[in-house]
Amino acid sequence: MSIRERIAAANERAADCIVESDPAWVDIMPAGEIVEGLEDHMILHSGPPIGYEDMCGLHKRGMISGALFEGWAASEEEADKMIKAGEIKISTALDHNTVGAGTGIITQSVEMMVIEDRTSGKRAATFPAEGPFQGGLCGWGLYSPEIAENLRFMREELFPVMREMIISMGGLPIKPILAEGMQMGDENHTRQTAADLLFDKKVLPFLFRMDQEKDRILKVIEYIVETPRFFHCYGQGASKAALMAAEDVEWSTMVTAVGGNALEFGIKVAGLKGRWFTAPAPMMKGRYTSSRYSEKDQLPWIGDSCVVECAGMGGLAAAASPIVCNLRGMKLEESIALTREMEQICIKKNHNFSIPNLDFDFLPVGIDIRKVLKTGIAPEIHGGMFNHEGGLIGAGSARVPMECFEKAMVAFAGEYSE
Residue 103 main-chain phi, psi, to 5 deg = -75, -25
Render each residue's pLDDT in the chain as its tens digit; 418 residues.
788 999 999 999 999 999 999 999 999 999 999 999 999 999 999 999 999 999 999 999 999 999 999 999 999 999 999 999 999 999 999 999 999 999 999 999 999 999 999 999 999 999 999 987 657 888 888 888 899 899 999 999 999 999 999 999 999 999 999 999 999 999 999 999 999 999 999 999 999 999 989 999 999 999 999 998 999 999 999 999 999 999 989 999 999 999 999 999 999 999 999 999 999 999 998 888 888 888 888 899 999 999 999 999 999 999 999 988 887 788 999 999 999 999 999 999 999 999 999 999 999 999 999 999 999 999 999 988 888 877 787 888 999 999 999 999 999 999 997 6
Contact 52, 46 (CB under 8 A): no
User: What global pTM score does this model have?
Assistant: 0.96
Contact 282, 261 (CB under 8 A): no
Q: How far apart are CA 191 and CA 328, in angstroms?
A: 13
Return the number of other C-beta atoms located less than 10 Å from residue 215's C-beta: 8
Radius of gyration of the chain (CA): 20
DSSP 8-state assignment for residue 129: P
Task: State the span(s) of the chain assigned CATH 3.90.1700.10.
Answer: 245-416
Contact 117, 246 (CB under 8 A): no
Question: Please, what's the largest Cα pairwise distance for the chain?
Answer: 67
DSSP strands (E only) in 336-400: 346-355, 361-367, 380-386, 392-399
pLDDT of residue 291: 84
Burial degree of 194 (CB within 10 A; 0-12, 13-18, 19+): buried
DSSP labels for 48-106?
A: S---GGGS-HHHHHHHHHHHHHHTS-SSHHHHHHHHHTTSSEEEEGGGTTB---TT--B
Q: 344 CB contacts (<8 Å, ≥6 apart)? A: 371, 375, 377
pLDDT of residue 134: 58
What residues are paired with 394 via a beta bridge?
288, 385
What is the assigned CATH class of domain 23-234?
Answer: alpha beta
Contact 26, 118 (CB under 8 A): no
H or E stretch at 28 = strand 23-30
What's at 136, amino acid-wise? G
Q: How far apart are CA 401 and CA 241, in angstroms?
A: 25
pLDDT of residue 418: 62
Contact 287, 328 (CB under 8 A): yes
The number of helix segments (H) and strand segments (E) in the chain equals 15, 15
Contact 99, 44 (CB under 8 A): no
pLDDT of residue 286: 82
Q: 184 CB contacts (<8 Å, ≥6 apart)? A: 193, 194
Distance of CA 5 to the CA centre of its chain: 32
Picking from 15, 408, 91, the residue whose alpha carbon sits closest to that of residue 245 is: 15
CATH number of 245-416: 3.90.1700.10
Alpha helices in 270-401 (DSSP H): 307-310, 322-327, 332-343, 369-375
Task: State the span(s) of the chain assigned CATH 3.90.1710.10.
Answer: 23-234
Q: How far apart are CA 97 and CA 244, in angstroms?
A: 8
